[in-house]
Amino acid sequence: MKRYKVYVDVTDIYRDLIKFKIREYSDPFLILFITANDPDDCLIQVMHNIINSILLKDSSMQTRIFCRLIKKYIRFDKIIRL
């Protein structure tokens, strides 16, 4: 398992993301440290972490639709292997 530093841009969904009051995702530009096998696995893991933390706060139908939008509007700026 390798460590990666991932720069994530969530500016398109930032205002909706604030409603859930998740401390790790409270900025429009995120820097996350992830342990994964390869960079593709790292990106999938970041997506799952964001979606799971949102669904733990609220699992309504509206939130589930929002989670689908996250997959469209999230951008990964840079991935660095540490």
Q: Which amino acid is at 42?
A: C
pLDDT tens per residue, range 33-82: 999 999 999 999 999 999 999 999 888 999 999 999 888 999 999 999 98
Q: Kindly report the number of other CB atoms within 10 A of residue 54's CB atom.
A: 21
Task: Indicate whether 13 pLDDT > 90.
Answer: no
pLDDT-derived band at 14 (thresholds 50, 70, 90) equals: confident
Structure tokens at 79: 């991935």
Report how far residue 50's alpha carbon sits from residue 24's, in angstroms, rounded to the nearest whole number: 9
Task: Give pLDDT, residue 16.
Answer: 85
CB 26 within 8 A of CB 46: no
**pTM as predicted:** 0.83
Task: Indicate whether 8 pLDDT > 90.
Answer: yes
CB 47 within 8 A of CB 70: yes
CB 81 within 8 A of CB 4: yes
CA angle 75, 78, 79 (to 5 degrees): 115
